[in-house]
Amino acid sequence: MEHIELKISLLQTDTIYRDFQANLSQTEIMINKALNCRKKPNVLVLPAILAAGSNEQEAAAIEQLQKLAAQNSVNIVTCGTFDTAYAVDRQGNIIASYNQANDMQPESCIFDLDGISCGIIPGCDLRFPEVVRQSALGGAKVLFVLGKWPKLREIHWKLLNIVRAIENQFFVVAVNSAGKPRTGACSGISMVVDPWGKILAESDENPKILTTVIDVGLVERARGQNPVLNDITAN
């Protein structure tokens, strides 16, 4: 089967509550650091890091990320303070935005990054398997999970990401904040999980850039060996 590699960098930032400018500056520094390598990543993944105090601040932050994406010809996936997830392509265009938190009906947001079908959710949707399943049934091979997950429920974050990868037979790329976007500390522990549930890369609770390469062809191989999703679509 075909091997399609995607190099991904997860930017686990140290978020400062309501210090929008500090968070934006930190993000830009980490982006530049992630891109300053011999073979830069295809995708940069950021958590809900901006801690904007208003819709206007969030809009300004997303606009700045669009500029950085276009200037560096890199895809960027991130989440705003108000649980809206965004995907920005290499030209700086917002190609997907999604907020499931207040919607009672499970839906999916499917988009292509460099020809690879992807899904996206804010971290709060990890607890709703029916929401994540819609991404798999919609053809996603990679699911981006954008968190501000509290340290108090650290074990939930880790287990849910692994389980969602296994039951949907796709890659889960989950990035979390390492700071205090609201009142309690976030757990960090950003991770990349393959379709078999194997953790390919994992960070600790400190700010960090986590980079790995995934073979997207593994999704079809896993689904071919254990075609459980076929039983679901058949019913």
pLDDT at 56: 80
43 Cβ contact partners less than 8 Å away, ≥ 6 residues apart: 6, 7, 8, 9, 74, 75, 76, 77, 113
pLDDT at 39: 86
pLDDT at 51: 55
Angle between the 154-168 and 129-137 helix axes, to the nearest 10 degrees? 30
* Buried-state track 89-112, b at ≥16 Cβ within 10 A, e below 16: bbebebebebbbeeeeeeebbbbe
Write out the two tokens for 13: 């930032």
For residue range 36-49, list pLDDT tens digits in order: 988 899 999 998 75
For residue range 158-207, list pLDDT tens digits in order: 999 999 999 999 999 999 988 665 556 777 899 999 999 999 999 998 88
pLDDT at 177: 86
Contact 85, 108 (CB under 8 A): no
Q: Which helix (H) or strand (E) holds 55?
A: helix 55-72
Write out the two tokens for 58: 């969030």
More confident residue, 153 or 172: 172
79 pLDDT higher than 90: no
DSSP class of residue 206 equals: S
When mean pLDDT is compared across 137-141, 145-149, 214-218, 222-226, the lowest value belongs to 145-149
When mean pLDDT is compared across 84-88, 89-93, 148-152, 180-184, the lowest value belongs to 180-184
Tell me the pLDDT of the chain averaged across its residues.
87
